[in-house]
Amino acid sequence: MNDSNPSFLGRITLAVSAFFRILADGDFAAAVLRVRDGGAPVQTATQTATQMPAPSPSPAAAPKAAPAPALKEASPDAALQLLGLLQRDARFIDFVEEDIKRFSDADIGAAARLVHEGCRATLREHFTIRPVRDEAEGSRVTLPEGFDASAIRLTGNVVGKAPFVGSISHRGWRVDEVRLPKLAESHNAKVIAPAEVEL
């Protein structure tokens, strides 16, 4: 696996770790959103101070930029709870944390099939997930002016203004309902799976 083209299992690991970091870290979520929309990654205040030289005074006052949208901080408890459910039902963390270099592709494939089955059952039990678009992939669609940019991402040669005409390359996913179990006040969400001691 190399950094420019990670393997399928490497992409699974990357996607899951990015998913949970997005839920727990507002700054990281903003950076991912900006990269997704085609911009440069957002830098934190510390990175900007250490990497950027002090700005020189400008001769003319620059126009004021629109204020950045307020970011809400996500509680990590729900993400940790989902991670615990994926571990319980699919041994997800055991699979991701295993050093798979010593296993054959057939062994990895067999294990991935079990993990896939458990992850799928967990998602279907605790979430109602629907496609963002109902049309089949490959269908031609027209996006009017004012379309929901959080639900539809334009790719390819994006020029001009809406309406846009293109083909659906991925229908997208959205969660209609979440059914995570309620937790007791004393529950420690950071313990995803307790250690087991056989007597």
Q: What is the DSSP string of 127-166?
A: EEEEES--SPTT-EEEEPTT--TTT----SS--S-S-EEE
- Please choose, from the candidates 146, 83, 162, the residue with its C-alpha nearest in 3D space to the C-alpha of residue 119: 83
- At residue 50, the pLDDT reads 47
Specify the range with the lowest mean pLDDT, choosing from 27-36, 78-87, 105-114, 126-135.
27-36
Pairing of strands 173-178, 127-131: antiparallel
pLDDT at 48 over 70: no
User: What confidence tier does 72 reach under pLDDT thresholds 50, 70, 90?
Assistant: confident
Specify the range with the lowest mean pLDDT, choosing from 61-65, 97-101, 174-178, 179-183.
61-65
Q: Is 185 helix (H, G, I), strand (E, B) or coil?
A: coil
Top pLDDT among 175 and 21 is at 175
- Measured CA to CA, the distance from residue 24 to residue 21 in angstroms comes to 5
pLDDT at 109 over 50: yes
- At residue 46, the pLDDT reads 43
